[in-house]
Amino acid sequence: MDRDSGEQLRREMVMASERENFELSGPLHLSSMDWKSTDYRRSVAACLVQGVYILERDRQEKRQGSEALAPPWWNFFHFQLRTPLVDEADSSTFGAIYELKHPMPHDKSSVNDSPRYVIAFRGTLTKGDAFSRDLQLNVHLVRNDLHQTSRFEIAIQAVRSIVATYGSSNIWLAGHSLGSALALLVGKSMAKTGVLLEAFLFNPPFVSAPIERIKDKKVKHGLRIASSVVTAGLAFAMKNSHRKNQTGDTFVALSEWMPCLFVNPADHVCSEYIGYFEHRKNMDEIGVGLIEKLATQHSLGGLVMTAMGKEAEEPLHLIPTAKLTVNLSPSQEFKEAHGIHQWWRSDLLLELKTYKY
């Protein structure tokens, strides 16, 4: 390794350690609790997800006791780590159950707005021995069979246990990237049984053609309309399919659940959610909302596979209702646009829209 490469590696290692250190990278400006504030709630959820990332990094680096960097990410907000969630395939920590320690239990308003438990999931780690397993999970995500993995089974059982013991109120789900896909899958699964959990999904992957990246608005709009017409037509033609009727019924049942999605337009992993929801609104405004209402329940690829007699899983991104927060602050690079750190910055330029089915 030459001198320049060695210096670059050293700088990257220093930057990585700074990002893991709460005193250097955490939202120290949030010095007082304000559970009614959307900024505070978003920042807390993001930091708890970051705590899971650092838990795994602590394990990899064998940092224990006073050397561990993870605890400040939840202690600062008066949480305690109740249970780390460990992937049985590689022994990596991919999630955590946090419990809030109420310093002011007499403050009923604060208690009602704050979570009692938060189940958080990290995304892909590119360093250490967890990368191989995380990469496998990303492949499952693209194939729409994340629900068939042991990681999902561990996650859903943990959430069901918490809900069965303490009820569903004041229970939060949170995740980033691959972790937000896992949280979304868990949330959808619970919502199908009538349990509606508050969810904070940071940079959730949207697995489809990246139409949102097309600069020409007319071309982009035309492609979305064409896709909706073809999808709706195929879905209508297959209306006698028992499976497709079930899909429609499930989609309607999910409409009562409203997860919070946090996306960055410069992040191609999640930016398609912007067009996905905005297109539905535009189709309704031009008088063809019924077409989009049918199209949005299905994926074109899934319909084609079903028409060919093959089993097709429901794409994870098909959700009827959501609170979509878009970070309009400029990002210097993809890594920044996709990163978890952006979501607790104090200078964010955010746009919030609510979409109902």
Pair of tokens at residue 124: 């892909």
Q: How far is CA 44 from CA 30, 47, 65, 335, 349, in A?
A: 9, 5, 23, 21, 18
**For the whole model, what pTM was predicted?**
0.81
pLDDT of residue 244: 45
Instruction: Give 171's DSSP letter.
Output: E
Closest CA to 264 of 177, 193, 175, 182: 177
Pair of tokens at residue 163: 């809900």
| Helices marked H in the chain | 3-20, 22-25, 38-61, 72-75, 108-113, 131-142, 150-166, 178-191, 217-237, 242-253, 272-285, 289-295, 300-307, 334-338
32/283 Cα distance (integer angstroms): 43
Residue 199: in which H helix or E strand, if any? strand 198-202
Residue 83: in which H helix or E strand, if any? strand 79-86
pLDDT, one tens digit for every residue, the chain (357 residues):
455 555 544 444 445 678 999 999 999 999 888 999 999 999 999 999 999 999 999 999 999 999 999 999 999 999 999 999 999 999 999 999 999 997 544 445 455 789 999 999 999 998 888 999 999 999 999 888 999 999 999 999 999 999 999 999 999 999 999 999 999 999 999 999 999 999 999 999 998 755 556 555 655 555 554 454 444 454 445 555 544 445 556 777 788 999 999 999 999 999 989 988 886 655 555 444 454 454 455 554 454 444 444 444 567 888 889 999 999 999 989 999 999 999 999 999 999 999 887
Pair of tokens at residue 222: 């035309």
349/324 Cα distance (integer angstroms): 14
pLDDT of residue 34: 93
Instruction: Answer yes or no: are the C-beta atoms of 276 and 231 closer than 8 Å.
Output: no
| Dihedral sign of CA atoms 52, 56, 57, 59 in order | positive
pLDDT of residue 279: 66
pLDDT of residue 232: 41
Pair of tokens at residue 308: 């060919």
pLDDT of residue 113: 86
58/77 Cα distance (integer angstroms): 20
How far does the chain reach from its first CA to its final CA, in angstroms? 56
DSSP states of 236-247: HHTTT-HHHHHH
316/141 Cα distance (integer angstroms): 8
317/177 Cα distance (integer angstroms): 13
Instruction: Give 136's DSSP letter.
Output: H
295/97 Cα distance (integer angstroms): 37
- φ/ψ region of 92 (left if φ > 0, alpha if ψ in -120 to 50, else beta) reads beta
